[in-house]
Structure 1
């Protein structure tokens, strides 16, 4: 009887999380909410549900499955968005831009986090979201460092709000930046947080701006692989002192799945007509995972500890924008 009850609870937890993922997809098609994106909306729905109705203990199995397994499946499928040939053809200049901006953003957020005395996990997650690709990067790295739900939610919420704010700011300031459409696309793609933010900021300035913005952004997404491995090595070394038991290091195998899917897309093994449907499934899985994450988050706790993280993210994003702008001017 107890086993049946647990199985039923598992299914209910999974259905609720999946329903929230679908609702987030529908809401993300609305004008203003489209900037926030499906993943961020999903986590907010989960948080609101918990705050109003709470969750049953028997649901935890399905919720946990969503937040871990479906998340990894989603990230693997997300690789189909990345065509490695586009990054190769863009040349070393674009790769250099992505690497330097990523490195700068990561270092500056880590330094600021130490100054503001933010815990290590939240610091790493916020740095990853700022430097790489927003909620998707935070989700991938959180599983590597075994971050708490609160830490992950605080980081995702911070990056989502700041990304939306900066997207609107870029669109308004663009005419006064003195950049060509191509350079503005490079600027947006190398400094904004989410792919949705990059598209929203670059689209009003033409096809050239959009193409370059997305290409440099996807180059940052590709850098998630080495960053995830380095963080895994770093956290293992920190926890184990100077000893290195390589067998115990948590290799992010799902990241290699991400690269595998990118390879299938690059070599046209996956038909182009399949890409969009696969991406829909990918984002559905990740949105379901984000919703389940939100179901385990206490909004009061976020309000208590999230203010400093928001300030660090804001300052770090401002520094990244300034650094990225002047680097592009220098390269022009």
Structure 2
């Protein structure tokens, strides 16, 4: 019972965010309930923090931690293995190379060149590498980041992902890129699924279909990525001088793949699958709202412009290097 009041607070915020996201302005700029809910949470957390009853704190933390994992698991119902197979090896290899180079390069630049803390650098890099806010939320429990670090990373990928949504159609028309190449390039380099849908369909239905499939393949990479990252972080962080940390497997990432497998095998009616995907967005929105409440604007201000600079550098890399990787993979395979 101690969780109920806090969960209801985040549920109310999520429902408000769903309503706001249905407004024409939000639809035009593809502002998802996740993004709206974290902004709403930050407003409440910073302006009315003292008005939140102490009894709500447990439920807010429950939403931020447990519902977050559940939302990531159910996110698997957006994906099928058949969709991944449909784009072939070209889309798959492009995704793998984009994720690897962007995450490793982004983490290095963030920590070594910009002097960011490890958590902020990794979260910003993974948001650019895989699938924006959903990837950041999935990675948060693995890197054990603080609320403000996660909020900063989410804000940066929203900014640059939104820019990409408008710029990619111009790139397509100016440089006269083929539909197949543009579909793979768009899906492999734009941050959020919603942004890929908007940009892809603005260039044509064929590009839209290819870009979404490539993007969902990229989303699928989140599970193996989190498992590899978990092994790496735990092996590189010893408990003591003589004993290394116990390896922690992020089981929610494995269950994410199980959900995708169930969806691929068509074991559930489509109405149930639709319910699962809606529940995923709801739980992730609640987690974002809880995250926003726990985010102190003073901490964000203390970090400064460095995360924005890192996200900007990664965005330029995705625009330029991402296109180069897409072309190189196509030439290699074909």
What is the TM-score when the length of structure 1 is the normalising length? 0.93
Measured against aligned partners, the alpha-carbon deviations of 1:91-119 in whole angstroms (never above 9, x if no partner) come to 21111011011111112211220200000
Per the alignment, residue 209 of structure 2 pairs with: 211
Deviations 1:3-57, CA, capped at 9 Å, x for gaps: xxxx46x322211111111111122223442423221111111001112211333
Pair 1:297 & 2:295 matched: yes
The residue that corresponds to 2:56 in the other structure is 59
- TM-superposition CA deviations, 1:203-254 (whole Å, max 9, x none): 11222111110111111111111110111111112211897757x2221101
Residue matched to 1:81: 78
Which residue of structure 1 aligns with residue 193 of structure 2? 195
Q: CA separation in 1, counterparts of 2:304 and 2:20?
A: 25
The 1:168–1:304 alpha-carbon spacing in structure 2 relative to 1, beyond 3 Å, is farther
Deviation at 1:173, TM superposition (A): 3.1
Q: For residue 320 of structure 1, what is the aligned residue in structure 2? A: 318
When structure 1 is superposed on structure 2, of 270-279 and 99-108 the one drifting more is 270-279
Report if aligned partners of 2:200, 2:207 keep a CA contact under 8 Å in 1: yes
Determine the structure 2 residue equivalent to 1:38.
Answer: 33
Q: TM-score if structure 2 supplies the norm length?
A: 0.92
> Equivalent residue of 1:240, what SS?
coil
1:175: Cα distance to partner?
0.9
Q: Secondary structure at the match of 2:256?
A: helix
Is there any run of 5+ residues in structure 2 with no aligned partner, and where?
Answer: none
Contact 2:83 2:213 in 1 (8 A): yes
Higher mean C-alpha displacement, 126-135 vs 274-283: 274-283
SS at match of 1:117: coil
Task: Identify if the C-alpha distance between structure 1 residues 17 and 150 changes in structure 2 by more than 3 Å, giving closer, same or farther.
Answer: same
Q: How many angstroms apart in 2 are the aligned matches of 1:269 and 1:323?
A: 40
The correspondence for 2:11, drawn from 15, 18, 36, is 18
Residues 1:47 and 2:42 are matched in the alignment: yes
Q: Is residue 28–residue 37 contact of structure 1 (8 Å, CA) maintained in 2? A: yes
Greater CA deviation, 32-41 or 252-261? 32-41
2:93 maps to which residue?
96
Partners of 2:304 and 2:37 in 1: how far apart? 19
1:147 aligns with 2:134: no
Query: After TM superposition, which residue ranges in structure 1, 4 or more long, deviate above 6 angstroms?
Result: 241-244
What is the match of residue 4 of structure 1?
A: none
Q: Secondary structure at the match of 2:235?
A: helix
Instruction: Tell me whether 1:137 sits opposite 2:135 in the alignment.
Output: yes
Structure 1 Cα separation of the partners of residues 23 and 177 of structure 2: 30
Deviation of 1:182 (Å): 2.5
Aligned to 1:115: 113
Change (3 A) 1:299 1:177: farther
Structure 2 CA distance, aligned partners of 1:194 and 1:88?
21
Which residue matches 2:254? 256
RMSD: 1.8
2:267 is aligned with 1:272: no
Q: How far did residue 174 of structure 1 move?
A: 2.6
What is the rounded CA distance, in whole Å, between the counterparts of 2:73 and 2:296 in structure 1?
Answer: 29
Is the contact made by 2:97 and 2:325 (CA closer than 8 Å) also made in structure 1? no
Residues 235 and 244, structure 2, Cα contact 8 Å, conserved in 1: no
